[in-house]
Amino acid sequence: MEIKKTSKQYDVIIVGSGAGGGMATKVLSEAGLKVAVVESGPYYDPANPEQMTQLKWAWQSPRRGAGTTRPFGDFDQAYGGWDIEGEPYTQKDDTNFRWFRSRMLGGRTNHWGRISLRFGPNDFKKKSIDGLGEDWPLTYEDLKPYYDKVDKLIGVFGTKENLYNEPDGFFLPPPKPRLHELYYIKAAKKADIKVIPSRLSVITKRINNDRGVCFYCNGCARSCNVYADFSSGSCLIFPAQNAGGQIDLYVNSMVRTVETNSEGKATGVSYINKDDGNEYKLNGKVVVLAASACSSARILLNSKSKQHPNGLGNSSDLVGKYLHDSTGGDMMAFLPQLTNRKIYNEDGVGGMHVYSPWWLDNKKLDFPRGYHIEVWGGMGAPTYGTGFNVNHFNKFFGLKAGGYGDVLRSDMKKYYGSTIGFSGRGESVAMKSNYCEIDPNKVDKYGVPVLRFNYKWTDYEIKQAKHMQDTFEEIIHNMGGQPLWNKPGIESNYGLTKPGEIIHEVGTTRMGKNPKESVVDQFERMHDVENVFVVDAGPFVSQADKNPTWTIMALAWRASDHIVSEFKKQNF
């Protein structure tokens, strides 16, 4: 295929516009650099009425909000999903890795859960603590100033708790717990489980004139038209454009490779324009990959040259290795005390108002890493289904289950808001044997070789999942509730989710001091190629029992500051 070259020369080309790419766009453009953002999905603005799914009623969707094209239901704001037509991925042996891709400006930040947790001091030195995996080449203290800046720029609610490994930040006021959450607090405390207000990047108090304040519509997964929740477009890229940044957005543009010269240095990227099907080349002094952990690994592995025969920056053979996702385990319960509730508007932010950070010492347990508990339930605006079969709830009172018409209607009212759910989200141990690689036998519809996944949970994660289920059982018992399905046993790894399913995949370009044992340094700069940086979750050494995005953005900001200082020294 002929490659069409553009004459434009950029200081920095950023691939991907999600959490990492958005942060790099803001910091680099505000420093005066000329930036190209190359994004494989379309332009997206949560405030555009034509793209909005927020504030729509269930009856406005032909299937009451049930999924047709969108993975989590019609109102979810993802363009893309688990399966994208013409963009397959493959699995080795009996691997069943699930790969979620949001293809749109802002990436997955348009519909993520907004749980915005800092990693704690211990999370950067897990090998020193339990001998497994590797320590990070930087400490919490190194990253703390950037977490502080992210908190202040974007806004996160929460409370100061003085918990060593759950560092406090700069918090906006949190919303109050709702009834089901009050039940959770009481039952969890009885089991000696700590419960604190959640930490979500939702604006509960005005922080500037560009963004509105949350009006509690419960709809963050639909993205917020007043920009009260964080998404990369509304909070990073648009403000950077409005501030006069020199930013060219290339949307619907799928990067195939990073291009290099005879010295092995990057010269730009080649991308396929999805609108005209042609391939183009952009020139840049620096390339910043932020296409998400697995997509960036794919681009690097596909960027082979004489100087980089094993893929760009892959002399360590570690690009794609140490892929790891959070663990997950769920349970749901019926609370008889919550039947026949007075129905009122209980909507809050689009997520939980309280949660439990990891509360135990792994040295006293038979698995090495912890998990946190997310809580859900109550009376959200009804959409498709109710999350359970109401007809069956009568069995808890020895009554006949089933019915339709008036019986069904009155059962609906009786049981509405009487359920609660728990999700454990935990840390897995990064294993070299879990990885993505290029499948030599398959290309996608653009002719780009696809990824093949190799992934197996170890006993560490399986034992952790068992602990989650034992914990949920105790909490439900303390509440006087009834579990809505059987406790999963060993035959299903105690309900452990499939790898990839929690959508926290990290580690494919891990950072470190030793170029033989890592792909990038602590500033996310490739050891092998001095003008290529990776600012998504690829550089994570370990996952922590936290969600990753706040750390992606703190690291991306730190890396971007480093790029700016290198430009100032004329090192590019």
Ligand X SMILES: Cc1cc2nc3c(=O)[nH]c(=O)nc-3n(C[C@H](O)[C@H](O)[C@H](O)COP(=O)(O)OP(=O)(O)OC[C@H]3O[C@@H](n4cnc5c(N)ncnc54)[C@H](O)[C@@H]3O)c2cc1C
Q: Which residues bind ligand SF4 (CB under 6 A)?
A: 54, 202, 214-220, 224, 228-229, 349-350
Q: What is the DSSP letter of 311?
A: S
Indicate whether 357 belongs to the interface with ligand X (CB under 6 A). no
Comparison of 292 and 464: residue with beta carbon closer to ligand X: 292
Task: Name the minimum Å distance from CB 350 to ligand SF4.
Answer: 4
Beta carbon of residue 472, minimum distance to ligand X (angstroms, whole number): 20
Nearer to ligand SF4, 202 or 291 (CB): 202
CB of 212 to ligand SF4, least distance (A): 8
Nearest partner of 487 among 472, 498, 508, 502, judged by Cα: 472
- Using CB atoms within 10 Å of the CB of residue 514, give its burial: 0 to 12 exposed, 13 to 18 middle, 19+ buried: exposed
- 269-328 residues in contact with ligand X (CB under 6 A) are 290-292, 295, 299
Segment interacting with ligand X (CB under 6 A) among 13-21, 155-163, 310-318, 409-417: 13-21
Whichever of 36 and 431 has its CB closer to ligand X, that residue is: 36
Half-sphere exposure of 492 (CA within 13 A, CB side): 12
Which one, of 180, 177, 176, 158, lies nearest residue 167 by Cα?
Answer: 158
* The only residue of 99, 112, 371, 567 in contact with ligand X, by rule CB under 6 A: 112
Please give the C-alpha separations between residue 218 and each of 41, 214, 215, 351, in angstroms, as whole numbers: 26, 9, 9, 7
> Does residue number 218 form part of the binding site for ligand X (CB under 6 A)?
no
Q: Is 548 in the site for ligand X (CB under 6 A)?
A: yes
The residue whose two tokens read 């690994």 is: 297
User: Is residue 140 close enough to count as binding ligand X by CB under 6 A?
Assistant: no
Whether 232 and 364 have beta carbons less than 8 Å apart is answered as: no
* Residue 40 or 418 with smaller CB distance to ligand X: 40
> What is the chain's alpha carbon radius of gyration, rounded to the nearest angstrom?
24
Binding of ligand X by 21 (CB under 6 A): yes
Min CB(27)–ligand SF4 separation in Å: 24
Give 350 or 512: the residue with its C-beta nearer to ligand X: 350
- Work out how close the CB of 506 gets to ligand SF4 at its nearest, in angstroms, rounded to a whole number: 25
Q: Cα angle vertex 275, ends 271, 278, to 5°?
A: 45
Q: Is 169 in the site for ligand X (CB under 6 A)?
A: no
Beta bridge partners of 377: 420
Q: Does the footprint of ligand X cover residue 234 (CB under 6 A)? A: no
User: Is 70 an interacting residue with respect to ligand X (CB under 6 A)?
Assistant: no
The angle that helices 19-30 and 549-568 make with each other, rounded to 10 degrees, is 30
Give the shortest CB-109-to-ligand SF4 separation in angstroms: 13
Minimal distance, residue 228 CB to ligand SF4, in Å: 4
Classify burial at 163, counting beta carbons within 10 Å of its beta carbon; exposed 0-12, middle 13-18, buried 19 or more: middle
Q: Which CB, 292 or 327, lies closer to ligand X?
A: 292
Residue pair 371/464 in contact (Cβ under 8 Å)? The answer is: yes
* Distance in angstroms (rounded) separating the CA atoms of residues 148 and 235: 16
Smallest gap from residue 53 Cβ to ligand SF4 (A): 10
| Bridging pattern class, strands 101-102 and 90-91 | unpaired
Provide the CA 524 distance to its chain's centre, in angstroms.
19
Report, in Å, the least distance between residue 215 CB and ligand SF4.
Answer: 5
> Could you tell me how many residues of this chain bind ligand X (CB under 6 A)?
38
Contact of residue 229 among ligand SF4, ligand X, none (CB under 5-8 Å per partner type): ligand SF4
Task: For residue 281, count other CB atoms closer than 10 A to its CB.
Answer: 16
Helix axes 549-568, 140-154, angle to 10 degrees: 100
53 touches ligand X by CB under 6 A: no
Considering CB distances under 5 to 8 angstroms, the limit depending on partner class, which of ligand SF4, ligand X, none binds residue 202?
ligand SF4
Residue 254 interacts with ligand X (CB under 6 A): yes or no: yes
Q: How far is CA 137 from CA 99, 134, 140, 399, 546, in A?
A: 28, 9, 10, 61, 19
Query: Least distance (Å) from ligand SF4 to the CB of residue 231?
Result: 10
| Binding stretches for ligand X (CB under 6 A) | 15-21, 38-41, 100, 102-104, 107-109, 111-115, 254-255, 290-292, 295, 299, 503-504, 536-537, 547-549, 552
